[in-house]
């Protein structure tokens, strides 16, 4: 799926898999709900700009200034309500973190699967890694002594890749996504990695159980501390629990609702990041 860094065949596969599974349209979600959720999330963030090379991108920061930092990488939708919800939650976990979301799509958000696919397919993947690198460096230059990276789906794959490609990363937690070998080889990981997958995830080669087990073998070869967790009875994107996120998952045929698994995943996330960042 990973643009210029991934073979065109794997990109087409991931996109077509999502397309077959999803049927969400803009009209599927009430506009008032979408607006109210977005406004509540937006009010918590400070918008900043980060420069790298010859470009500047927006990023959204929430949390205490001097707290350990965590870069939070978007799903294929873009910087939408759900990734902001996750960043807010991360900032509120004990003992407190400073979460930063880099806008990899430069202000664009997919409101339906066709738009999200178009945005993902057009992403500059080497540039996305550079954005993550610059975000890690910004946090370290602005009060965070240690910085981790996390992400979901597309962002999960990028988070794991950052352990290979961004030397300044101190810890990684990836959710339901693995990088292709063209992007990064997890066997070359340099930072500790914790990864989470749903047992029922059917995105073959990207976030299904086989992909999770393949990742675990790669991480064993890397020698870095690692954990790979598979959640029984859960599908892709099982962390997305906002009302709008639940509706979107159901439109994708993902009807599992396992609050215990969600809480367990967040607890493991918190323990991992506290251990390596605090």
Q: 42 lies in a domain?
A: yes
- DSSP secondary structure string for all residues of 113-162: HHHHHHHHHT--HHHHHHHHHHHHHHHHHTT-SSEEEEEETHHHHHHHHH
Least confident of 36-40, 106-110, 120-124: 36-40
Overall average pLDDT of the 168-187 stretch: 96
Range of the domain at 201: 37-277
Is it true that the peptide bond before 95 is cis, omega within 30 degrees of 0? yes
CATH assignment at residue 47: 3.40.50.1820
Q: Would 20 be classed as within a structural domain? A: no
pLDDT, mean over the chain = 87
* Per-residue confidence band for 130, with pLDDT thresholds at 50, 70 and 90: very high
pLDDT higher than 90, residue 242: no
Query: What mean pLDDT comes out for the span 130-144?
Result: 98
On whether the CB atoms of residues 136 and 161 are closer than 8 A, the answer is: no
Percent of the chain surpassing pLDDT 90 = 75
Mean pLDDT lowest among 126-135, 255-264, 265-274: 255-264
Tally of domains in the chain? 1
């Amino acid at each position: 799926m990973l643009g210029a860094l991934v073979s065109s065949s794997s990109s087409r596969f991931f996109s077509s898999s999502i397309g077959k599974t999803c049927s969400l349209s803009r009209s599927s979600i009430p506009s008032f709900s979408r607006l109210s959720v977005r406004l509540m999330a937006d009010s918590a963030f400070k918008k900043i700009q980060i420069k790298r090379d010859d470009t500047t991108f927006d990023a959204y920061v929430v949390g205490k200034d001097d707290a350990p930092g965590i870069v939070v990488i978007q799903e294929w939708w873009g910087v939408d309500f759900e990734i902001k919800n996750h960043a807010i939650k991360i900032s509120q976990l004990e003992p407190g973190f400073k979460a930063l979301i880099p806008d990899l799509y430069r202000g664009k958000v997919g409101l339906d699967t066709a738009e999200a696919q178009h945005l993902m397919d057009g992403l500059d993947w080497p540039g996305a890694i550079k954005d993550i690198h610059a975000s890690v460096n910004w946090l370290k230059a602005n009060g965070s002594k240690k910085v981790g990276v996390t992400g979901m789906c597309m962002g999960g794959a990028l988070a794991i890749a950052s352990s290979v490609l961004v030397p300044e990363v101190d810890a990684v937690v990836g959710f339901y996504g693995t990088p292709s070998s063209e992007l990064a080889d997890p066997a070359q990981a340099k930072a500790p990695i914790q990864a989470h997958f749903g047992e029922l995830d059917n995105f073959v080669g990207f976030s299904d159980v086989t992909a999770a087990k393949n990742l675990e073998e790669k991480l064993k070869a890397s020698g870095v501390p690692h954990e790979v967790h598979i959640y029984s009875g859960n599908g892709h994107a099982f962390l997305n629990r906002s009302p709008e996120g639940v509706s979107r998952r159901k439109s994708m045929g993902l009807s599992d609702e396992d609050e215990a698994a969600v809480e367990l995943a967040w607890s493991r996330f918190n323990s991992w990041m506290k251990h390596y960042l605090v």
